[in-house]
Amino acid sequence: PRNVVVTGSGSGIGAALTTLLRAQGDRVIGVDLKGGDIDADLSTPAGRAAAATAASEAAGGVVDAAVTCAGTSVPGTAMVTVNYFGTTEFLTALRPALAAAGQPRVVAVGSVSGTQPADPDVVTACLAGDEAEALRHAGRAVADGHARRLYPSSKAALARWARRTAVAPGWADAGIPVNVVAPGIVLTPMTAGLFDDPGMKKVMDTAVPMPLNGYLRPEDVARTVLFLVSGANSHITGQVLYVDGGAEATLRGPEV
Ligand code: NAI
């Protein structure tokens, strides 16, 4: 069986993906705060490094695919530490084990929110790999009342990191495709509370219009990931694939 490392495997999209991968015979090595095969806090450099080492060891040094679903939408510094560095540093640490596989694949879960107004200083610091500086700007954004820009910032930076990394030495030339799946609104524990409040539901429907088939179920997103990590994906890399019922096309229009 293939060894597939999934972060955020305990809930929502990561849990749905874990179920589908196991059903098709893959071996999932789940990473989560608690209750995963590997318990780790991806918000810290030490947690990321320990998780990557443990995942690589559990896979016998050969990781066939890595999918990062761990993330949070609570405005604050976790946007930087979990959504961005908890993905990019973790995947970078897994690169040697991915390169050892016959048909390695990487998918990071981004968001259609990555197309929305971001804090350029946070994005720049993230892409520079400067976590301290990114945290400083994130703290400033919170103090200035712009905390709501941090989620889009983390996902915009992630999409740009993936496009850059996909074609950087050691990835495409080592046979490792790197893509982002960017969902619209998905019905998971992350969003559940938001729908209790009719006012908030209206805000979300305006911010993320989904004319095709409405809200996503986690397995709708997981099925797209399943394709991108399969052998059928021989040449797609560096792409941000919006799985969003038309939200990105509505928001950005035809001329991107
Ligand atoms: P969820 O809240 O159901 O699951 C997130 C998982 O990440 C949880 O199992 C949690 O324990 C784990 N996690 C959080 N912080 C962690 C940390 N410091 N270390 C290790 N694990 C940690 O959320 P959901 O909805 O499944 O989200 C998955 C991904 O999809 C996230 O990156 C999210 O930003 C993204 N996304 C979700 C959307 C939605 O509407 N639910 C829309 C667009 C993107």
- Per DSSP, which regions of the chain are E strands? 3-7, 27-32, 38-39, 65-68, 105-109, 178-183, 240-243
Q: Is the CB of 71 under 6 A from ligand 1?
A: yes
The pLDDT > 70 percentage for the chain reads 100
Quick check: 80 and 154 in contact, CB under 8 A? Answer: yes
Report yes or no on 140 lying in a domain.
no
Active site residues: 151
Q: Is the CB of 72 under 6 A from ligand 1?
A: yes
Report yes or no on 250 lying in a domain.
no
Residue-wise pLDDT tens digits, 56-99: 999 999 999 999 999 999 888 999 999 999 999 999 999 999 99
Q: Name every residue whose Cβ is closer than 8 Å to that of residue 112 and which is 6 or more positions away in sequence.
A: 182, 183, 184, 208, 242, 244, 247, 248, 251
> Could you tell me the residue range of the domain that residue 30 belongs to?
3-117+152-241
The C-alpha atoms of residue 118 and residue 31 are separated, in whole angstroms, by: 28
How many domains does one find in the chain?
A: 1
Report yes or no on 165 lying in a domain.
yes
Q: 127: pLDDT confidence band, cut at 50, 70 and 90?
A: very high
What ipTM goes with this model?
Answer: 0.99
The rounded Å distance from CA 173 to ligand 1 centre is 30
The CATH number of the domain holding residue 75 is 3.40.50.720
Q: Is the CB of 16 under 6 A from ligand 1?
A: no
